[in-house]
Amino acid sequence: MNIPANLKYTKSHEWLRLEADGTVTVGITDHAQELLGDLVFVELPEVGKELAAEQEAAVVESVKAASDVYAPIAGTVTAVNASVPEAPETVNQDAYAAWLFRMKPANAADLDALLDAAAYAACAVE
Amino acid sequence: MTQKTVLNETHRRLGARMVDFGGWDMPLHYGSQIEEHHAVRRDCGMFDVSHMCAVDIAGSHARAFLLRLIANNVDKLQTPGKALYSAMLDETGGVLDDLIVYFIDEGRYRLVINAGTAEKDLAWMAARIAEWRFNVAHIPRRDLAIIAVQGPNAKARVWQALPESRAASEALKPFHAVDAGGCFIATTGYTGEAGFEITLPAGRAEDIWQKLLDAGVRPVGLGARDTLRLEAGMNLYGQDMDETVSPLDAGLAWTIDFSGPRDGIDFVGKTALLARPQERQFLGLRLDEGGVLRAHQKVVTAHGEGEITSGTFSPTLQRSIAFARLPLASAAGDTAEIEIRGRRLTVRVVKPCFVRNGKALI
């Protein structure tokens, strides 16, 4: 299973990366894309949208099923990766390169409560 | 307990993601279901469909039994090898299963029935044989495996892998079968492409699968099988029809033969179908914007509401397509609305056949 050590994770299979400017980048994990199969449709949030933790933020849809992507922490959407809805298969090809959206955390300390790679690996095999 | 086909280990060795399908542990895909779909449309691919059950109907009353058992008319089968698609109904006219029947000779026919319904179907057949007192036996052939090879290059690859099969199968017309050295080779399929369905002794399945693999035939899982059959306008039992649905409302009217009575008797379900005319139109839907149509979504038309029975993303058309049961007044060319995640989207009503032989039809 491909779970980079430098990222944070959620039980609902999102990954997060803290950027130098204090924003966090969010995507779905390699394990999540494998469970979903070939993605064919991605819907991203609007820039400026305020999200509560665990609120539905985006939708990734595969041939098999639609799946919600949740905001891992509370914050405001600052950017979206517009190339992903145009080519959803890029998430299957590299789930950690094909990020979905960036947000400015309402409270940076919220990140500490998320899973590290080892903890996510343990919950992903369940 | 989950059942396994004789090729189960082979699929795992090829890296398949396995899923439970009708009580069978089957390959969903071997990496990418969309690439597998394109392989069948553009070149060729092979499916292990050994979970489907071949049942031989043998005995002097075989034809009389089938005339009564299924809703299509086996009297359409006059030359050995010819095949027929049919529904098998219960007395209420509900669909027990859909199947293909092959005419082998006057004393023997072969049915291929669905995996998830096999036990129910066999019990139904046994009960009808006892009730009607026919001199006929129904013999489930679990000693056989089935490999479907489909796509524009499928036949050439089969002949390359199994040269000894070529002479017997070269002149086969569509929907016919022939025995070629113990392999029962049929020009049937579930993809809308040319190709063969090969029924063979289970003990030879691994060897023949490997030969096909060596000839460049790509393994394809049930995921792509579903998108291929939907594009081709082919119903899936349990989704597009079942015991609660009249075949007339499931787009299967073309498979029901009301002529007769046959041999002085009617097929099971005929009386019920005549008493309950068609209530719904079975049509296709096409969505021209983002999103994927899914089974059980509600469809709002100018004539009332309908329901999607199968929906998916069509890799060939690069948009979502579906089958739906719609009000009787609906017709191809209409527009309708569906709701996905709180948003109303417009869909185009089309004939429920989207792609054939690699070509878009809508």
The whole domain housing A35 covers 8-105
Write the burial class of residue B269 (CB in 10 Å: 0-12 exposed, 13-18 middle, 19+ buried): buried
Q: Is residue A25 part of a domain?
A: yes
Distance CA B152, CA A47 (A): 47
Please tell me whether the overall predicted TM-score, pTM, comes out greater than 0.90 for this model.
yes
Average pLDDT over residues B75-93: 97
Q: Which residues have C-beta within 8 Å of that of residue B232, sequence separation ≥ 6?
A: B190, B191, B192, B193, B353, B354, B355, B356
What per-residue string of b and e applies to B87-110 under the rule 16 or more CB within 10 Å gives b?
A: bbbeeebbbbbbbbbbbbeeeebb
The CATH number for B310's domain is 2.40.30.110
Q: Does some domain include residue B123?
A: no
Q: How far apart are alpha carbons A24 and A100 in whole angstroms?
A: 11
Question: Are A40 and B292 a contacting pair at CB < 8 A?
Answer: yes
Q: Please give the full DSSP string across B228-256, using - where no structure is assigned.
A: HHHHTT---BTTTB-TTS-GGGTT-GGG-
Contacts with A41 from chain B: Cβ below 8 Å: 290-292, 313
What's the DSSP call for residue B135? S
The pLDDT of residue A118? 95
* Contact between B80 and B103 (Cβ < 8 Å): yes
> What length is written for chain A?
126
Distance CA B286, CA B300 (A): 14
Q: What is the pLDDT of residues B147-162, one digit of tens each?
A: 999 999 999 999 999 9
Give me the DSSP letters along A54-105: T-EEEEEEESS-EEEEE-SSSEEEEEE-THHHH-THHHHH-TTTS--EEEEE
Residue B335 lies in a domain: yes
How many angstroms away from the CA of B228 is the closest CA of chain A? 12
| Whole-number pLDDT of residue B36 | 98
Q: Closest approach of chain B CAs to the CA of A41, in angstroms?
A: 6
Q: How far apart are alpha carbons B40 and A76 in whole angstroms?
A: 45
Residue pairs spanning A and B at CB distance below 8 A? 36
Domain count, chain A: 1
> Domain total for chain B?
1
**B279-295: average pLDDT:** 95
Asked if B353 reaches chain A (Cβ–Cβ under 8 Å), the answer is: no
Contacts of B74 (CB under 8 A, 6+ apart): B63, B66, B67, B84, B101, B103, B109
Report which of B107, B59, B106, B99 is spatially closest to residue B78, judged by C-alpha positions: B106
- Pick from B234, B233, B219, B239: which is nearest to B360 by CA? B233
Say if B328 falls within a structural domain. yes
Q: Answer yes or no: is B309 within a domain.
A: yes
State mean pLDDT over B75-81: 95
For the domain that residue A39 is a member of, what is the CATH number?
Answer: 2.40.50.100
Does residue A122 lie within any of the structural domains?
Answer: no
Which of B313, B317, B318, B345 to mutate against chain A (most A CBs within 10 Å)?
Answer: B313
Nearest-Cα distance to chain A for B243, in Å, is 25
| Sign of the four-CA dihedral A90, A91, A95, A96 | positive
Cβ distance B274 to B304 under 8 Å? no
Residue A110 lies in a domain: no
Please choose, from the candidates B123, B106, B149, B1, the residue with its C-alpha nearest in 3D space to the C-alpha of residue B53: B123
Instruction: Name the residue range of residue B337's domain.
Output: 279-360
* Per-residue pLDDT band at A1 (split at 50, 70, 90): confident
Query: How high is the pLDDT of residue A126?
Result: 65
Provide the H-helix boundaries in chain B: 8-13, 33-42, 62-69, 118-132, 154-161, 166-169, 202-214, 222-231, 270-275
- Residue B262 clears pLDDT 80, i.e. is over it: no
List, in order, residues 6 or more apart from B153 with CB less than 8 Å away: B43, B44
Percent of the residues in chain B that have a pLDDT greater than 90, as a whole number: 95
Query: Are B320 and B231 a contacting pair, CB within 8 Å?
Result: no
Q: Once rounded to an integer, what is the mean pLDDT over residues B206-229? A: 98
Alpha helix ranges (H) inside B43-185? 62-69, 118-132, 154-161, 166-169
**Position B350 in a domain:** yes
**Which residues sit opposite A52 in a β-bridge?**
none
3-state secondary structure of A20: coil
Is the Cβ of B312 closer than 8 Å to some Cβ of chain A?
A: yes
Q: Is the pLDDT of residue A90 over 80?
A: yes
CA distance B345 to chain A (A): 15
The residues pairing with A43 across neighbouring beta strands, listed in sequence order, are A59
Which strand (E) or helix (H) includes residue B88?
A: strand B83-89
Query: Is A121 among the domain residues?
Result: no
Q: Helix (H, G, I), strand (E, B), or coil: what is residue B77?
A: coil
Task: Please choose, from the candidates B250, B325, B311, the residue with its C-alpha nearest in 3D space to the C-alpha of residue B94.
Answer: B250
Give pLDDT tens digits for B218-260.
999 999 999 999 999 999 999 999 999 999 999 999 999 998 7
Mean pLDDT for B4-9 is 98
Q: Which of B76, B73, B104 is nearest to B186 (CA)?
A: B104
Strand partners, B25: B20
Does the residue A1 lie in any domain?
A: no
Residue of A nearest to B31 (CA): A37
Residue A115 lies in a domain: no
Alpha-carbon gap, residue B261 to B281, rounded angstroms: 27
Would A125 be classed as within a structural domain?
A: no
Read off the pLDDT of residues B20-42 as tens digits, 9 standing for 90 and up.
998 999 999 999 999 999 999 99
Is residue B340 assigned to a domain?
yes
Mean pLDDT score, B90-105: 97
Report yes or no on B285 lying in a domain.
Answer: yes
- Test B291 with A41 for CB contact under 8 angstroms: yes
A interface with B, Cβ–Cβ < 8 A, is 34, 37-38, 40-41, 43, 59, 61, 63-64, 66, 85, 89, 92
